With several copies, the nearest count.
Chain A
Amino acid sequence: MDAPVTTETLTLVEAGRRAALQEMRRDPRVWVLGEDVARGGLFGQYRGFLDAFGPDRVVSTPISESTIMGAGLGAALVGTRPIIEMRIFDFVMCAMDELVNQIAKIRYMFGGQAKPAVVVRMPHGIWRNSAAQHSQTLESWFAHLPGVVVAAPSTPADTAGLLVAAIRSDDPVLFFDPKNLFGVTGPVPAEIDPLPFGRAREVRNGNDLTLVAWSAILPDCETACDALAAEGIGVDLIDLRTLWPWDEEAVAASVARTGRLLVVHEAVQAGGFGAEVVARTIERLGPASVKAARRLGAPRVPVPFSPPLEEVVKVTAPKIVAAAKATLGAPAAPR
């Protein structure tokens, strides 16, 4: 471990908490608003914040998503730096005008006058059989939306580093907290430095296949890598960490070496960000330099409640292993 001595092992949710805490201590313009945040937040992300910063900087709000989002923007326009907590990603759908038409556009539309320095935190993904309205992963939408940075970390350290960067960013950052990984642990430095957007993390090294992923699916990818390694298959596993900007150089360099690309995401495969990764890599390298390029995502169905049904639609380690083997073995027509 090359982590500094002042490193602690923390859960992912606690890592995010520490990052927000550090930045709120550092900069009095940083504050947080959202439902129940004064009571620590739904996942304890803001535990103790009310006592530390008081009710003007830790604002529990009504169930008014449009205004949570829009007020965060307004407060940024006068020079504060709000952390907009959306509780669960799916509720962002109640605040899309504010996010899409206002936050994402305002800097450009006003010719640079506006500084929409907000972080929008959105715990997303499948978690404890919460069914169709509480399980969505639509991060690819926002990679397609001009004006926003899209972060989707998978480890405590990346959560901490990216959240610090997000809070310090003058551009709006959409921060996808992986709710299913809130409990995973890992080292986090006591003093958290910002992690630059757009730099992938090399998770595993291998020469047979490039596996690209982000957010909550990473642990399954690692499990799949273990299984593949046991069969002698070496995987280059890349965690993009941010989807915009994204590290297309790292992916292209890896695929140039392995010749084979598999992109895996929890989100629905059709129209997911995996398509962008495949398309862009093919554009960069040319099809002739690539032996296979494929994706594995969820089928285009809402997330069902019942565990056996959820299992069917969910991307899992065995499915990743199978997709990896198909990518290695059968470059043509997968289905």
Chain B
Amino acid sequence: MADTAPTGHNTRRWLDLYRTMVRIRAFEETALAAHAAGQMPGPLHVSIGQEAVAAGVCLNLRADDRITSNHRGHGHAIAKGAGIAGMMEELFGRAGGHCGGKGGSMHIADFSVGMLGANGVVAGGIPIAVGAAQGLRLLGSDAIVACFFGDGAINRGPFLEGLNWAALYRLPVLFVCEDNGVAAFTRAGEVTAGAGAVARAEAIGVPAESVDGNDAAAVDAAAGRLVASVRRGDGPHLLHLRTFRLLGHTSTDKAAWRPEQEVAEARTRDPIARLRARLIEAGAADATLDAIAAEARAEMAAARDAALAAAWPDPATAWTDVLDTPAPEAA
């Protein structure tokens, strides 16, 4: 998609997008460094290079809209407005984490901003998203649900079932397929037959379109249209966003099997750099953008420091949040 002509309105939106994207980048780079330093437990999946997806979609959501996410969900959460302190503490397993330290990176949720959770199971968020939409409608709300998943998820059964379900009941769901061309250590093309997510969605009765997922403005524009349509009651849509996972599957994976050139080439399409170029073109000052980025880095460094200094969970909380009816051994 050709770059949209810059306007004052667009510039303001793009600055919003930019801020969100650099915040996501800074959050994940900060987390990566802490993980590499042995300060952070558990597995860590970062979305570096994919920030336009989260930012572009969530900019079009209301506070009371909901999202579901996958294992690579920091960006989705941040873009939906999840508190950074709570996210950072969660990654470090501290008491002040959104999940009290019980979830970690792969299970970030912040219900207070409609973020219904990352998910450690590929495609696990799809049935939850359609049900949330069904529940919202039953309650008379006009909130919608955006459901993020990767290209890998379209080969799992819940993709078919969930899309069919949403189409059938005309549910307010925007399915977002974040297609970085790879699932763990295997290329999407090697495990996906047919023409992909858009064709599959359309065959199930879910209108779909495909957009360059590294072009934040294009993602924003497409998401804006589709979210409006979903909210209007047109039923579900699917937005297919082509992007690139610049790093490995997890923080400890170097993705050494990928040709260096492929990655180098992809770096030239870095969504943050592209949006920045566009903003400059539209008249934004380098200094403004640098300041936003610096602020983001500072915010995340401060959050990291605070999290590292924060209290560990009280061991007694290992026994809470499980059943209202206490288990004998917890008594």
Contact = CB atoms under 8 A, between A and B. Distances in A.
A91 B121 contact: yes
Contact of A107 (B156, B161, B322): B322
Interface stretch (B25-33, B184-192, B212-220): B184-192
Contacts of A142: none
Interface stretch (B223-231, B276-284, B323-331): B323-331
A36 B184 contact: yes
B324 A169 contact: yes
Contact of B102 (A42, A74, A102, A309): A309
Contacts of B141: 78
Contact of A102 (B42, B121, B136, B192): B121
Interface stretch (B11-19, B195-203, B287-295, B312-320): B312-320
B81 interface: no
Contacts of B109: 110, 113-114
Given A61-B191, A69-B127, A305-B102, A133 B132 contact: no
A306 B327 contact: no
B158 A130 contact: no
A62 B327 contact: no
A133 B93 contact: no
A111 interface: yes
A272 to B, nearest CB: 12
Nearest to B145: A74
A307 interface: yes
Given A110-B109, A299-B329, A312 B315 contact: yes
A300 B329 contact: yes
A270 interface: yes
A132 B330 CA distance: 18
A75 B117 contact: no
Contacts of A223: none
A131 to B, nearest CB: 5
Interface string B148-162: 000011011110011
Given A62-B155, A97-B124, A75 B135 contact: yes
A176 interface: no
B138 A70 contact: no
Given A130-B43, A299-B319, A301-B319, A74 B156 contact: no
A78 B293 CA distance: 35
A309 B122 CA distance: 25
B50 to A, nearest CB: 18
B267 interface: no
B210 interface: no
Query: Which interface class (under 10, 10 to 19, 20 to 34, 35 or more) fits A?
Result: 35 or more
A94 B132 contact: no
A74 B128 contact: yes
Contact of B317 (A78, A82, A94, A309): A309
Interface string B231-271: 00000000000000000000000000100000000000000
Nearest to B137: A56
Nearest to B192: A62
B131 A73 contact: yes
Interface in A57-76: 57, 59-67, 69-76
A65 B164 CA distance: 13
Contacts of A62: 152, 155, 161, 164-165, 168, 183, 191-192
Given A60-B191, A74-B131, A74-B134, A79 B139 contact: yes
A91 B153 CA distance: 13
A248 interface: yes
B318 A304 contact: yes
Given A60-B191, A101-B121, A306-B94, A129 B104 contact: yes
A198 interface: yes
A259 interface: no
B120 interface: yes
A26 interface: no
Contacts of A94: 121, 156-157
Nearest to B160: A64
A66 B157 contact: yes
A169 B310 CA distance: 34
A106 interface: yes
A111 B191 contact: no
A142 to B, nearest CB: 12
B117 A64 contact: no
Given A301-B330, A306-B94, A63 B156 contact: yes
A327 to B, nearest CB: 17
Nearest to B133: A74
A71 B191 CA distance: 15
B158 A66 contact: yes
A71 B127 contact: yes
Contacts of B207: none
A61 B166 CA distance: 11
B158 A63 contact: no
Given A110-B103, A198-B325, A306-B41, 10 more contacts: A31-B138, A35-B184, A64-B155, A97-B124, A108-B321, A111-B98, A132-B120, A147-B323, A245-B327, A309-B102
9 contacts: A60-B186, A67-B161, A78-B139, A94-B156, A111-B102, A128-B43, A130-B42, A198-B325, A308-B313
Question: Top 6 closest A-B pairs, CB basis?
Answer: A70-B127, A74-B131, A71-B131, A75-B135, A306-B93, A306-B101
